[in-house]
Structure 1
């Protein structure tokens, strides 16, 4: 996925896995994490996150997350998204 419309590339990671307990973010099996992908902007990541979350709605312990990688790559900059 390339950003061709001149917008700044703000990388986002989408991943998920089964939690040990509800209400916490400790995973049951790190080897079984679903690394969905890295996306060039928040909107793309959110679209994929929604699809994965909806597909796993029958498993209450399954959770998907969007990580703002661009904030880790350049922590001094304040950016939206």
Structure 2
């Protein structure tokens, strides 16, 4: 990534949910923090790999969190994922 490129950080996390209707994790101590990624594309690839590994557990869910939106809430909503 060049020095002038905008950093759009994304976090991939997952864990077992208490139920399928909510996004409340059953045990925060067992939360799987996959990592922080420099783009949506790299975060999505990591999310997909983790989701496929846990496909047999219906309560296991992984999420992509748009950290760049949290770090800069005034950022244009039309920016790339």
Q: Secondary structure at the match of 2:41?
A: helix
* Deviation at residue 8 of structure 1 after TM alignment: 1.6
* Deviation at residue 22 of structure 1 after TM alignment: 0.5
* Deviation at residue 77 of structure 1 after TM alignment: 1.1
State the alpha-carbon separation in 1 of the partners of residues 4 and 47 from structure 2.
24
Q: Aligned to 1:8, which of 3, 6, 9?
A: 6
State the alpha-carbon separation in 1 of the partners of residues 5 and 42 from structure 2.
13
Two-structure CA RMSD over aligned residues (Å): 1.3
Tell me the TM-score normalized by structure 1: 0.91
Gaps of 5+ in 1: none
* Deviation at residue 51 of structure 1 after TM alignment: 0.2
Other-structure match for 1:17:
15
Other-structure match for 2:45:
47
Query: How many pairs does the alignment contain?
Result: 79
Gaps of 5+ in 2: none
